[in-house]
Each structure stands twice: as C-alpha cells, then as structure tokens.
Structure 1
C-alpha cells in the first residue's frame, strides 16, 4: 500500500467516488451493460478490453455546474450516441484506406468531427433533456477551437488551424481563418455544408473523401495535436486470450466483424468471461507444451460410463450442523487453491485469489507478548463483557404485555375496560449470546510494517472480547502480490487469523504471526468478506476494515477508490454495517478524511496516534455490540 501521507499533490487528482458511481450507473442505464465502468482520459474514448468508457479531462477544474454538464455530455455522446449509431465497418474500412495518406490524422479526425455533430443531433431528437448539456459542450469547445486557431497559425500548424476552422463552420461560430487562409477556406467550406445532410457514418466518410483532394498539395504536414480518440480503441486486436494450439485456426471460421460499438463491447466482454473460470486453471497453470500422442484414445459411444469420478468436499458446522459447500471458509481454506474472482466487480476481473490459514507464532517471545497485552487489556475486556451480559439479561427479563394469550397479568384491568381485552403477557425468548457476527479485514500491505505491533494488539483485543462473549467472528489479512501481478492476472491472498467456524478457539498465536506484504485491493477484499458474511444466519452483520491508506494495487489507482466505495455500498444494501479504522502515526489530514468519506461514508474513524489503535478498536466494538444487543 502507498501510505496516504505520501500523496503527490501535483499529480494526484482526488476522485469523488460517489459522483463516479453515479455516472457509471447512468452509462450502464444508457447502454444496457450491467458492469460497464467509467474513467477519464485526455479525450472521450471506448475501451472494450477493460469494459470502460472514458470521459475527457477537458471538464476538470471548472465551475461544478459546468463540470457536471460537460461530463454528462460526454456520456450522452458515448453511451446514447456512438454506442449504437456509429458504423464500425465503415470506420474500419476508411482507417485502412488512409493508413498511408500523408494527412491521415486530419481526415480521420474530420470523420469523427462530422459524426459527433450528426450523432449529437440524433441524441437530442431522441432525448430532448440532453440539449442543455450539448449546448454547453458546443459553446466551450467552440471557445477552445477559436482560441487555439490564432496560436496554431502563428506557429505554422496549418492543419490544426484548418481543423479549428472546420469545427467553427459546422457549429456556426465566427472565426478569423478567412483572413489568412482565404483560398483554402473557399475550397473547403462548400463541402462542410454537406455535413447537415449526413445520415450515416458512410456519409461522414464521404465528406472526408471529398476534402482529401482539395487539401492535396496545399497542406504540407498532418495535425500536430490530437482532437479525437473515440475511434482508437475500436480497431485494435481482439483480447489477448491465452489460446492453445489449434484454437486460432478455429477462430478463422467465425462470423465477421460487429457493426456497432455496443455489439463489440458485448462480444468482447462475453469472450473475456468465457476465457476465465476454473475449467481453464489446470491447463494454464499445470499444462505442458506439446501435442497428445493419441495413446489410450478410443471412439466414444452413447451411454458409456465415466472412467473416473471426483468427490466434492463439505463439512458441517459443529455449532449449527449446517453443511458448507466446498470452497467456503468452513472447508480447509489452508488448501490455498487459486480461484478466479467471478462476480467481484469489473475492476477485479483479472484477479485470482486463494485462502490460507496463517501459521501460529509459537515462539516464547510471541507468548510473552500475548500475556503482557492481555494483562493490560483485561480490565477493558471484563468491563465490556459484564456490560453486554447485563444488557442480554435485561432483554431476557423484559415482558411483552397486551397479548391475546400467554401468562395472565397481575393487574388484569383490561378485562373490564376493553371490549376485546388482552390481559396476557410473555417474557422475551431467552438468549445467551448476541445474535451478531463480525468480519475483520486487516490490510497486509507493505506500508503496515511500521505499525504491526500496535495492529496486532488491537486485533488481539477485538478477538478476546468477541471470544469472551461467544460471538462469531472471522479475521483475515489481505494483500496482493505486486511482483507476480500482470495485466491479465493479479494474485491476491487472504490469510485467516481466526475463522468463523473456530468459535471460541484462542487464536492469539496466529494473530501474532501477522506480517506486512505488498499491495492492497480494498474493494475486492470488502466484496470477499461480504460474501462470507452473507453465508451467516445471524441477524446483525458487521464488517470492519483496518487499513493505513488508500487502495494500491496493479491497475487499481483511482478506480480502486471507486471500486471500494461501490463495494461498501453494496455490502450495506445487503444489511452489513461497514466500519473503517485508519491506522496512522499522525491524525488524518482533511484530504485523507475526504478520501475515506468517499470510500466508507460517515463510518470512518481515525486513530490520532499508533498508541490509540487499541483504544479506538475498543470504542468501535463497544458501540457495535450495544447496537446489536439493543436490537435483540
């Protein structure tokens, strides 16, 4: 993890996770893609490989209202416009034809400029409510082009100045291009008026083809700047699947190219999903290069019996008797098999993870620490346990009055006063333990190295209190292996310090084995623990996250903040209360507090110093226990 104290202010744009999630929901609604992501680039773009739309950074650092409308115009143009109205076949054919043209960037950008105007008009006609956002877009981009035009002319960038002129003409914005390039504008302008009659991408391509001979010999060099990237991600190679011998030949017989951006995204996304899953794990990780020799092969016959079988693993929880499926926390997570992260969010599609049982630290030093820390915390543990036991007992003694049946009340006046008397009462159902379960995630990234002792002490206190109250809890350390992480595979490990099925077992020695690792993928960890908590039957579910900064993993920068915020909201929608404790040697800054608010909402707590980790843990846990006991 990159400690949040090491922010680089000039190179770190603090993302508003709530706003990004809202924009993602809009993009998904407009396109019908359930897991579509939204990011930012220099220009608006499509990224089929990562299943994302990119808004432009053009709208940053402006008045909030302008930024809002500008980003909305980007999404309207991409998700409601180019998504279904842009002809990929015509675009790809034209890109191929202009590959060797000396003005290829100008001509390709001209096609996209014409397409933007055509598609904008179509979106406004279908969705009149988008008109305000597009009007602001035309005005500000018009100011940009007319402002850049004299600069480009002064520097001798004639192609860029002409492109600025194209934008101004088709949007009805006056410029000063005629004063210096009158001859060229007289040739080009009549062609531009044809853009208002364009009804397809092929029509826009036709206009560019009419421009090409007019520019030949009159423009010496191509564009110096980029103005559009919306078509770039739509022409590259297909996803880099790990095909094995023979599959590439099979692909040659498949259907031709898709005709729209939406179809391309759907196909790419489906193909990526089909290439993932446990059915490929053995071949990818344990297979050998080479062809089979054919020995032992025989012709298949209908009704033939299988020659080998496999058994699944399951076990019953000792306390409940409920069987758990193989792969759940209850069944030997120490096996350490790698699993693909299916259904853990689009930001984690290339993640594989394993669960290990931490090895206990049986050294005499560890045992001495445990004894010393427990002696220090014993008064606090006894106080909380005593308070909770009193609350539980009080609940058992409370009576429900006014019932139609049960025990007769000592003062049955209602028999005389009411037409339909209810003179009976019942005591609350007896309960010996809190109907609650706690999941604790501990950041295991490298930046935790200087806080390990105090973190272990806080986790041990958490464990001792819940163990004394016979309350179910699970504690896991999470980290990503930065050295092994690649674009297509990001290995994450969860080490169990205490499993849910361990019940009252003392795992203090496992907690003392906690070590710092590499990176942290917080949103993925929250989703993982959420899935474990949802398997529990307790009425109250709590998820605590102990971390010392922002998410930091392979390809998990700003989108990691959004992914974490989305994971927290999804958990809370399913009835899980998520609490974050920021572990730091100094009080959190205003910037850090804002970041944590974006990810965890109002339930983020900061310890002012390392020495106060245990104190804050105690305070948080007490509040949650009171909450659980009050709703029994």
Structure 2
C-alpha cells in the first residue's frame, strides 16, 4: 500500500468520503440509477462509459456552506435537469453542423449556457427547495465571469470576453465592458433577450444559429478557455464492445437516437454490463440481426479462464457453515481461476480476481522463526485464553430465575408471597466456544516490504490466539497486479493464509510465506471478505484490516477512499464490525488519522512503531473477544 507520506501538500486534495457518499446517494435518488458513481472534474460532466456524474472542482476551497450549496447545484443541474430535459438528438446534430465552423467552441458553449438557464428555471419550478443552491451558483459564477472578462480583454481573448458578457447579460449581472467591444456586444444582445422564451434544446440551438452570422468576420478567434464540458461525453457510442461495418446504421434504423441523457446512461450501462466478462467468442451484431456462422468458435483447452462458477447444494454445518464455504471456495480459490467481480461497487466493475492458497514456508529458518515468535508471545496467548475460558464458564453457570417451569429454586418463599409464583430456574445453555468468527485482511502492496517481519509476527499472534480458543477465522492477503492492470481489466489476487474451514489447523508456515506485491484495492477486498463472513452463521462477525496507508490501484485514487468508506459502511449495516490497524514505523499524522476516520470511522487504530504491531493486535483482539463473550 502506498504510504500516505507520498502526498505533496500543495497538490493534495483530501476527499471527505462521508460527504461524497452522501452526495452520491442524492445523485442516485434523483436519477433512479442505483449504481451511479460520482467524481470531480474541472467542469460538470456526464460519463456514460463509466456510469458516473462529475461535479466541478470550482467549489473547492470555499466556505463550507458555499461548497455544500455549490455541489448541490451541480447535482441538481446534472441529475434533475440535463438528465431528462436535454435533447441529445438536437445536440448531436448541432455539434455535427458546427464541426468546421471557425467559432465552433463559442457557439457550442453558448448553447450550453442557454440550456443551463432554461434547465435551472425548470428545476426550480419543479423543486422550489433548490432555489438557494442555484442562487449561490449564479452569484459565484457571475463573480468568476466578471473577474475573467477584464483579464481576457487585456490578453486579447475577445471571444472569451464576449462569452463572459453573455453570462452577465443573461443573468442580469451589472458589468463594465470595454468601449472598443461595445459594438460587438450590441449586435448580439437583442438575440439574447429571447433566452427567456426558450422551451427546448432546439430553441437554444436556434439562438446560437442567429448569433453566428452576426459574429462572422467580426470575431476571428474562437474561445481560448473551456467553460462547459457537460455535452462532451454525450456525443456518440464509445463503449467497450465494437460494431462491425454497417451495424451502426442498422442500429440507428432499428431504434433511433436516444432522446435523453437518462436513456443513454441506462442503455449504455445495460449494454456494457451484458458485454463484460468472458463469453462465447462471436462477432457482435448487437444481438438483434444476423446469426453466428460458427467461424469464431475455438477448441476448448485446459487452463482457460472460467466462464462461470458453481456453488454446491449441500447444507451448511449448523455451527459454522463449513459445507457452504467449502463449496464456494471450490469454485476457484485453490484452482486460481480468474473470476469477474460482480456486485463489488462501481469502482471495481473492471476487476477480475482469483483466490489462491498460499504455499507454506517449511524451511528450517521459517520453523525456527515461528518457534522463536511463539516463545515470545506464549504468555500473552495463555493469558487471553485463560481469561476467555473463565468468561465462558461464568456464562455456563449463570441461571435464569423466575421461570414457570424448570428446576425448583432453593428459595420457595416466592410461592407464598406472589399471586402468580414462578419458583423455577434454568442454567444457561452450555457453551464450549465463542459464538464468533473473524476475518483478517492483510495489505499485500509493495510498501509493506519493510514491515513484513513484524506484520507476520502480528498475524501469527492473531492466528494462535483464535486457534487456541477454537474460534473460526480466515486470513487473506490482497493485492493488485499493477504491471498488467488496464482500464478494462484490473487483476486482483486474494491469497489465503488460513481458511475458515481449516479450524484448528496450524498455518504458521503459510503466514511466514507472506510477501509484498504491487497495489492494493481496499474497498474491493473489504467487500470480498464481507461476502465470506456473511456466509457464516456465528452471532458475532469481525473484519480486521491491516494496512500501511491509503488505497492505491489502477484508477483508484480519491474514488478508492470513497469506495473503501462505502464498503465499510455496507459491512457494518449487515452486522459486521470492521476494525483497521495502521501499520507504520512512525506515529500517524493528523492528516493520516483524518483519512482513516473517513474510511473506517472511529474504529481505526495506529501502531506508534513497527515493534508495536503485535501489542496493538493483542489489544484489539482482546477487546473483540470480550465483546463476543459478553453477548453469548
């Protein structure tokens, strides 16, 4: 895992994961798209290919209230406005017609400016509660355009200065325009007054078309800056699957252009979802016209990637669900087959993963090291085991009094004093073990290389205590292969050091085989281990994450922080307690602590130094065991 110390202060934008998740849920509610993602770009944008909306970074570094209302206005405009009120067919036709125009960017930006005003008014009419956010938006963007106008005039960027003027006129903002440009502004202002009568995207396009001849020959250079990107991702299909020659025309003739952004997203998302993964090798004609001729068929070969996985039908063991887990693991863990990640969040849609069983390190050196570490930790292990056994025994001896049936109490006075006596008691149901299961995820990224010995020691202590208590647990190392990761495929390996079904087995040799890999995709790993824990029947489920920094994988920067935070919250909603231990050779900084709080809430612990890993592991594990024993 890449250390957080890699942050450069002047370029570091620490994301508030909780805030991002809240806004993402709002976007999903407004659009009705449950898997919609949210990110930030220079301008507000749509990204159908990645199923995302982008807020603008324009609202960063402002007062908290302004930032909040500004980002809300972005979402209202995108998810409640352009999503359903923007005509894609008209927009695409206009883009095509202006492709070779000298003022192409100016005219396109003007259409989007007119559309923003029209759509804003429509959203406010439908949702009056959005008015405050849009008022702040108009004021701040008005100040921006007025500040930029003088700068653009001074630099000779006449098209940009004129666009700043358009914004001011449309929004009724007083501004001072250079006298040398008054004639140019006066030519187009009569056209602008019609903006308040626009009722459709076609009306906005007609206004831009009316301006074009007025500016022809008078404005020789196009915009030097970008003001809108909301229409850029809506131009045409750029999906992961390809159309053969002639297919696009057939597709258009069959279903026609999509009318709205919402329809485009739904279709694109559904198509990509159905096309992802390894299926039969055939020529794609979009599934409607033409039949496969069999020329793309291939002979089966041993070792090919699995196309599907199966799950056994045997009933789970009443105590721990071992049979069900064994059937799931048999689908690919030991064989190491690559599986397409499904249901692991939008940030992990291109992930493929495999589960492998670590090869035990049975060398003489490894055995000596295990023996040495166990000799050092045996007093701690014995102390915790003894404490837990006493707690369990006390639970077994506790009696429930005042029952209508059972064993007769030694104090029968209640029979005489109470109108409806209950003189019986029962002992607690005998229990020989904790009704709990533990999952441990160990970061296997490259930055763990200098902490491997202490990490192995802490993991071994964790394993020995739970094994001594006969408590089910699973230990896995997670890492992503950075060398082969691409936008379409991000391979992740989850290596079992100890499986849940191997109760009582000494896997010290596997733990000693732990090695550092490349990158780490924390949110994905948390979701994967959560799915494992949910298969268990124990009353108490705990998930521990040992890591040394922030998530770091292909395309998994700030959205990795959000994805991890969301994965943790989802796990806790399903009754799984998630604990994070930060492994570092130095105490965590305030910045690091804030990041961990964003991802793991108040259940993040930091070891002050490398030699404290085992101590912190012991302390965490003891608290969790006490919690589990107190609720038996």
State the TM-score, normalizing by the size of structure 2. Answer: 0.94
- Give, in whole Å, the separation in 2 of the partners of 1:374 and 1:282: 57
**Residue of structure 1 equivalent to 2:360:** 360
Q: Does 1:200 align with 2:191?
A: no
**Residue of structure 2 equivalent to 1:59:** 59
**Residue of structure 1 equivalent to 2:153:** 153
How well do the aligned residues superpose, as a CA RMSD in angstroms? 2.4
Do the aligned partners of residues 451 and 470 (structure 1) sit closer, same or farther apart at CA in structure 2, a change above 3 Å counting? same
- Give, in whole Å, the separation in 1 of the partners of 2:246 and 2:512: 51
Do the aligned partners of residues 616 and 247 (structure 1) sit closer, same or farther apart at CA in structure 2, a change above 3 Å counting? farther
**Residue of structure 2 equivalent to 1:301:** none
Give the gaps of 5 or more residues in structure 2: 285-291, 299-308
**Residue of structure 2 equivalent to 1:267:** 267
Do the aligned partners of residues 81 and 327 (structure 1) sit closer, same or farther apart at CA in structure 2, a change above 3 Å counting? farther
- Give, in whole Å, the separation in 1 of the partners of 2:297 and 2:621: 63
Q: What aligned pairs does 1:366-515 form with structure 2 within 5 A after superposition?
A: 366-515=366-515
- Give, in whole Å, the separation in 1 of the partners of 2:117 and 2:321: 65
- Give, in whole Å, the separation in 2 of the partners of 1:244 and 1:322: 49
Q: Kindly indicate whether the alpha-carbon contact (under 8 Å) linking 1:76 and 1:123 is maintained by their aligned counterparts in 2.
A: yes
**Residue of structure 2 equivalent to 1:218:** 218
Q: Kindly indicate whether the alpha-carbon contact (under 8 Å) linking 1:449 and 1:516 is maintained by their aligned counterparts in 2.
A: yes
Give the gaps of 5 or more residues in structure 1: 285-289, 297-309
**Residue of structure 2 equivalent to 1:584:** 584
Other structure's SS at 1:105 match? helix
Other structure's SS at 1:136 match? helix
Do the aligned partners of residues 496 and 249 (structure 1) sit closer, same or farther apart at CA in structure 2, a change above 3 Å counting? farther
- Give, in whole Å, the separation in 2 of the partners of 1:258 and 1:323: 49
- Give, in whole Å, the separation in 2 of the partners of 1:611 and 1:295: 58
**Residue of structure 2 equivalent to 1:233:** 233
TM-superposed deviation, 1:485: 0.4
TM-superposed deviation, 1:277: 4.0
TM-superposed deviation, 1:589: 0.2
- Give, in whole Å, the separation in 1 of the partners of 2:445 and 2:259: 45
- Give, in whole Å, the separation in 2 of the partners of 1:257 and 1:359: 55
Q: Kindly indicate whether the alpha-carbon contact (under 8 Å) linking 1:330 and 1:500 is maintained by their aligned counterparts in 2.
A: no
- Give, in whole Å, the separation in 1 of the partners of 2:130 and 2:576: 37
**Residue of structure 2 equivalent to 1:165:** 165
**Residue of structure 2 equivalent to 1:108:** 108
- Give, in whole Å, the separation in 1 of the partners of 2:500 and 2:576: 16
CA offsets 1:382-402 (integer angstroms, 9 cap, x no match): 000000000000000000111
Q: Kindly indicate whether the alpha-carbon contact (under 8 Å) linking 2:282 and 2:296 is maintained by their aligned counterparts in 1.
A: no
- Give, in whole Å, the separation in 1 of the partners of 2:146 and 2:390: 75
Q: Kindly indicate whether the alpha-carbon contact (under 8 Å) linking 1:437 and 1:472 is maintained by their aligned counterparts in 2.
A: yes
- Give, in whole Å, the separation in 2 of the partners of 1:175 and 1:487: 46
Q: Kindly indicate whether the alpha-carbon contact (under 8 Å) linking 1:356 and 1:495 is maintained by their aligned counterparts in 2.
A: yes
Alignment coverage as a number of residue pairs: 615
Do the aligned partners of residues 140 and 582 (structure 1) sit closer, same or farther apart at CA in structure 2, a change above 3 Å counting? same
Q: Kindly indicate whether the alpha-carbon contact (under 8 Å) linking 1:327 and 1:333 is maintained by their aligned counterparts in 2.
A: no
State the TM-score, normalizing by the size of structure 1. Answer: 0.94
TM-superposed deviation, 1:249: 9.1
**Residue of structure 2 equivalent to 1:300:** none
Q: Does 1:324 align with 2:324?
A: yes
- Give, in whole Å, the separation in 1 of the partners of 2:321 and 2:2: 43
TM-superposed deviation, 1:438: 0.1
TM-superposed deviation, 1:240: 2.1
- Give, in whole Å, the separation in 2 of the partners of 1:295 and 1:544: 46
**Residue of structure 2 equivalent to 1:547:** 547
Q: Kindly indicate whether the alpha-carbon contact (under 8 Å) linking 2:587 and 2:609 is maintained by their aligned counterparts in 1.
A: yes
Q: What aligned pairs does 1:588-607 form with structure 2 within 5 A after superposition?
A: 588-607=588-607
CA offsets 1:500-520 (integer angstroms, 9 cap, x no match): 000000000000000000000
TM-superposed deviation, 1:186: 1.6
Other structure's SS at 1:177 match? coil
- Give, in whole Å, the separation in 1 of the partners of 2:597 and 2:311: 43
Q: Kindly indicate whether the alpha-carbon contact (under 8 Å) linking 1:548 and 1:582 is maintained by their aligned counterparts in 2.
A: yes
**Residue of structure 2 equivalent to 1:92:** 92
Q: Which deviates more, 9-18 or 552-561?
A: 9-18
CA offsets 1:143-162 (integer angstroms, 9 cap, x no match): 11111111111111110010
TM-superposed deviation, 1:238: 2.7
- Give, in whole Å, the separation in 2 of the partners of 1:52 and 1:295: 35
- Give, in whole Å, the separation in 2 of the partners of 1:246 and 1:625: 65
TM-superposed deviation, 1:236: 3.9
TM-superposed deviation, 1:321: 7.5
Other structure's SS at 2:229 match? coil
Q: Kindly indicate whether the alpha-carbon contact (under 8 Å) linking 2:396 and 2:430 is maintained by their aligned counterparts in 1.
A: yes
Do the aligned partners of residues 126 and 359 (structure 1) sit closer, same or farther apart at CA in structure 2, a change above 3 Å counting? same
Q: Kindly indicate whether the alpha-carbon contact (under 8 Å) linking 2:123 and 2:130 is maintained by their aligned counterparts in 1.
A: yes
- Give, in whole Å, the separation in 2 of the partners of 1:402 and 1:545: 44
Q: Kindly indicate whether the alpha-carbon contact (under 8 Å) linking 2:321 and 2:536 is maintained by their aligned counterparts in 1.
A: no
Q: What aligned pairs does 1:3-22 form with structure 2 within 5 A after superposition?
A: 3-22=3-22
CA offsets 1:279-302 (integer angstroms, 9 cap, x no match): 459999xxxxx9846999xxxxxx
Do the aligned partners of residues 254 and 444 (structure 1) sit closer, same or farther apart at CA in structure 2, a change above 3 Å counting? farther
- Give, in whole Å, the separation in 1 of the partners of 2:458 and 2:281: 38
Q: Kindly indicate whether the alpha-carbon contact (under 8 Å) linking 1:55 and 1:75 is maintained by their aligned counterparts in 2.
A: yes
Q: Kindly indicate whether the alpha-carbon contact (under 8 Å) linking 1:357 and 1:497 is maintained by their aligned counterparts in 2.
A: yes
Q: Kindly indicate whether the alpha-carbon contact (under 8 Å) linking 2:115 and 2:201 is maintained by their aligned counterparts in 1.
A: yes
- Give, in whole Å, the separation in 1 of the partners of 2:176 and 2:612: 66
Other structure's SS at 2:447 match? helix
TM-superposed deviation, 1:256: 2.0
Do the aligned partners of residues 229 and 295 (structure 1) sit closer, same or farther apart at CA in structure 2, a change above 3 Å counting? closer
Q: Which deviates more, 169-178 or 397-406?
A: 169-178
Q: Does 1:335 align with 2:354?
A: no
Q: Kindly indicate whether the alpha-carbon contact (under 8 Å) linking 1:277 and 1:340 is maintained by their aligned counterparts in 2.
A: yes
Q: Does 1:75 align with 2:96?
A: no
Other structure's SS at 1:613 match? helix
